[in-house]
Chain A
Amino acid sequence: MKKQRKIIDVGGSSSVELNVMPFIDIFSLLCTFLLFSAVFISIGILEVQVPFLTNAAPPPEKKVPKRELVVNIHLAKDKVTLNSNFSQPPENKQKEDFPTDKKGLQDFHEALVRLKNDNVDADSATLMVDDDVVYQLMISTLDEIKLIVAKDKVENSSGEKALGKRVPGLFPKVVIGNVLL
């Protein structure tokens, strides 16, 4: 039985007791609703592309071909190889290998940051993945290719700087190069 507000008259003064039962009713209903709708695993996405042929007309050829950075990454079970070169001479071919442990992937990420700092307009990379590579390793590698953090001291392509969290901006366009017939 709900208790009504009780006024106690003691020698001329009065004290009022607060009825907290409605609070409890509201709190329990709110708790029930929030428990049913709570999402305890936050879900995100990583975007990748595969090579494709199109029937669209090719773009008109430019008189002076642009010298662009080409980044190719080969991911094997125990190492990741970073190859970079320019599309026009001088090509400046470079190749670096990194192990696929945590330290190796961090070094791989720092090498990508150095590449990006030297070539701010470059925003795509081709990733070739061996068949025996575990999916989690592929996702971790994609994180290192696509995302930047504040300590990287690099601006992403849109000019924004990361603020503590990892944000897209290193090489956001990744093509899985070995998905071919």
Chain B
Amino acid sequence: MASVASNNGDQIELNIMPMLDIFSILILFLLMSFSTDPVNHDVSKGLELAESDTVQSLDEIPVLILTKNELLVNDKKILDIAGDDVDAAELSQGAISKVYQELLKVAEVNKRFTKDKSKPGQLTMEIDKKYSFKIIRRLMLSAQQAEFVSFKLMVAKSQS
């Protein structure tokens, strides 16, 4: 037990057993929430994920991130987003040209390192839940033109 001496010479002992109790409960809680997933990605700032009951876990870092006011590809800012859609000047046949250009580069790098070149590309997307499907369709269209046809939509697993 920890102890201190008082002025009249008596020893005051500090009871640290409750502190040990608290520590052990805290550690139990943190161990239960500890993740051993191979992929560890923090949700991007300025973004709230949609909730889902899915049990599939994230298995790759998102390439395309659409926060409340920015669009990023591989952590590189491509566009500012004001409102619910992209400026008409950035569009080409319904797709977003800058996103298409960046995803073409990503597709070329992926092809260099993929054994099965005939397999269609996969893209992980992290999108804020407030957007309407209009801008998401534009992103998917841009990715489709860059030969990405399968999408993994990042969601927050609901606790229920």
Chain A residues within 8 Å of B93, by CB: 181
Answer yes or no: A4 CB below 8 A from chain B CBs: no
Chain B residues within 8 Å of A179, by CB: 137, 140-141, 144
In contact, B149 and A50 (Cβ under 8 angstroms): yes
Choose from A20, A31, A44, A51 the contact partner of B56 (Cβ within 8 Å). Answer: A44
Chain B residues within 8 Å of A129, by CB: 133, 137
Contact with A along B81-120 (1 / 0, CB 8 A): 0000000000001110000000000000000000000101
Chain A residues within 8 Å of B41, by CB: 43
**A41-B156, A45-B58, A168-B54 known, 15 other contacts, Cβ within 8 Å:** A3-B2, A30-B27, A37-B34, A39-B35, A42-B156, A44-B56, A50-B140, A133-B132, A135-B50, A135-B136, A138-B133, A139-B50, A143-B54, A181-B93, A181-B94
Compute the total of residue contacts between A and B using a CB distance below 8 Å: 173
Answer yes or no: A10 CB below 8 A from chain B CBs: no
Interface of A is mostly: mixed
Choose from B3, B35, B95, B153 the contact partner of A45 (Cβ within 8 Å). Answer: B153
A178-B54 contact, Cβ under 8 Å, with A24-B19, A35-B30, A43-B155:
no
**Chain A, Cβ-Cβ closest to B43:** A41
In contact, A131 and B133 (Cβ under 8 angstroms): yes
Chain B residues within 8 Å of A131, by CB: 132-134, 137
Contact with B along A134-177 (1 / 0, CB 8 A): 11101110110011000000000000000001111000000010
Interface range on chain A: under 10, 10 to 19, 20 to 34, or 35 or more?
35 or more
Chain A residues within 8 Å of B55, by CB: 44, 165-168
Q: Which of B51, B130, B153 has the most CB of A within 10 A?
A: B153
